[in-house]
Structure 1
Amino acid sequence: MRLRVDLLPGREYPDVVILVDVLRATTAAPIVLEKTGLFVTPSLRAARAFGSARSLLVAGERDGLPPEGFNYSASPDDLRRARFERDVVLTTENGPRALAQVVGARHVLLGSFYNARAVTEVALRLATEEISLVCAGMRGEEAIEDIVCAGFLSRRIEKLAPVEVRERVRLSQALLRAYADPLEALAQSASGALLMKLGLFEDLAVASLISHSSAVPRLASTEEHEGHPVYAFEDANRAPAVGAP
């Protein structure tokens, strides 16, 4: 079994991908999926139109803040306290855009510190030849928090199963060792600095929590809406087993 880390999406993925966007898409996703159905799109227009057409709740952010008319922000702290009476369509700036570059994988999972134990166990259960930890980054640049999380997830995978590692795995783990705890890495990242400037300190605290969710968002289907992809996710720990009738 091969284990890879990509600091940004950038190649073909034959088997299992864990997409990492700690601040905030892949932290928010399992929080929502614990409570209700989840759709993800990179487009504000598609989120609004798809949400209206399906009578969904709309959650998301641009520059850290909820767009006008949205029911919720992408704040993990806010979403943890929310009670959803309908399914949710989520849009953020980085994670949903990165999805377009990994959808060719056999399985696409969303991972973070928040569901670390569950997502690594599911990835090992599903993989046949390779697990790729793919960092979403921030506006096309590498993101410290994503790389540190990839290092954390890769270290856990190594403890659970024999794997053949690539050099960037060691790089991500070296960056992980440079920080006393995940919260420190998040606070020193560009995304973390933006959220702290907006007063969203609790989002960093929630995003640094380890294995608080057993939900593992797995890409179930993709459709076009308003010229943009809308990705439907299911919880891999509650969905039927692959190949089951």
Structure 2
Amino acid sequence: MKRWIIFAAFLFCIVRAVIIDDNESCESEEHEEKQKMKCPKHYKGYYRVPSAANNQTKMWCIRVVMVNVSVSEPAAQQACNGEGAVLTTFSSYDEQKHIVRHASKFFRRNNITQGSIWLDGVRIEECRTLNVSKQISAPCNDKTRVFDITDPRTDPKYAWTQWYRTAPSWAYWPMRTEEYSNYPTPDSITADCINMWIYPGNDDRNGQLHAMHCDMAVPPYDFEKALNTNYGYVCGRPPVLSFY
């Protein structure tokens, strides 16, 4: 009789343990279901396929910021950092389309024919050179390698297919009237940052990437040329968890 009592008690303990485990599992699943990734106000979220190329990023929040005065790349970086974000770029056609659509709407509303906005991207160190031989050799002559992004949570593979057909160039500054063969000169600087052309109505340029002098808010070689005047920038950040 005692054996049966002991055996029954043993079975009771096992069943109770299983029930507790199941309850904890259900509670855990219910807790996860109540969590939802959400982007802050003014940001739009895009799901990404987590990989080593994007630091295992599952969702990325993007905000296109448009301004009425031209800005430099460092100013754009600082503005994004000020709201807990970073200067970012697109990783897919959908993200690119969102940026172009938002910026183009601003241009039309403000009667701006053409211009640019800053994106993440800098020329790699070994290609920040005035040595023409290096510029025309790998990796500096490779559109997929000559630039890199500063934030690892975006895979730039798609973005590097969106350079304008003649970009990225070095765009030496100061510009001079001498023959091109005399370039660059010792005091030259190169275009080491990236902006996106916004040119509503011109499918050849609208949404394409171009190299630009980082400290320049407007094109240094022609201050009246609007195409490279930067009227905005794109910030990116991770989502936040919300409970509902």
TM-score interval for Structure 1 and Structure 2 normalised by the shorter chain: under 0.3
Q: Which entry has the higher C-alpha Rg, 1 or 2?
A: 2
Q: Which has the higher helix share?
A: 1
TM-score (norm 1): 0.24
TM-score (norm 2): 0.24
